Amino acid sequence: MSILLKRFLFWGLISLFIINSIVIYTSGTENDPAKAYITEESKAGKLLFQEYNCISCHQIYGLGGYMGPDLTNVISERGKGELYAKSFIQSGTQRMPNFHLSENDVNALTSYLKYVDKTGFSPVKNFEIKFDGTIMQKANL
């Protein structure tokens, strides 16, 4: 291989590497659809969610315990919603414990669930595989 070709390959690959790094590290991170929902209240809700170990019975993005339903989209699911979620968190049911939470804590947990709702879909029922191999939910539940 001639020295010229070697140099061409070397600098060509280095340039591709740099361009690739720039594209990867500068795109996609600025438009997080859930960003507006990261508030002090939802952060407090996340801590409560961990403190009361809600994940032991519930899933988020399909991961967690299986005694209760997946909570990822409980806020936007047809027939459910914010008030629906609040009533479960506030009073429990025969199968879900009542944690006797204060109104602030109930609001914080609901606010966290609102944030989670904007971050993804679960279970993914109706999806399409895009040209780059990523998966997109087609329509809302």
Binding positions for ligand HEC, rule: CB under 6 A: 49, 52-54, 56-58, 67-69, 71, 74, 80, 85, 88-89, 93-97, 99, 109
d(CA 137, CA 125): 8
At its nearest, how many Å lie between ligand HEC and the CB of residue 95? 4
Nearer to ligand HEC by Cβ, of 79 and 133: the residue is 79
Burial tier of 85 (Cβ tally within 10 Å: 0-12, 13-18, 19+): buried
d(CA 73, CA 117): 5
Nearer to ligand HEC by Cβ, of 71 and 117: the residue is 71
At its nearest, how many Å lie between ligand HEC and the CB of residue 133? 31
Nearer to ligand HEC by Cβ, of 21 and 56: the residue is 56
Query: Which letter does DSSP use for residue 35 in this model?
Result: G
d(CA 110, CA 12): 52
d(CA 3, CA 97): 74
At its nearest, how many Å lie between ligand HEC and the CB of residue 41? 14
Nearer to ligand HEC by Cβ, of 69 and 120: the residue is 69
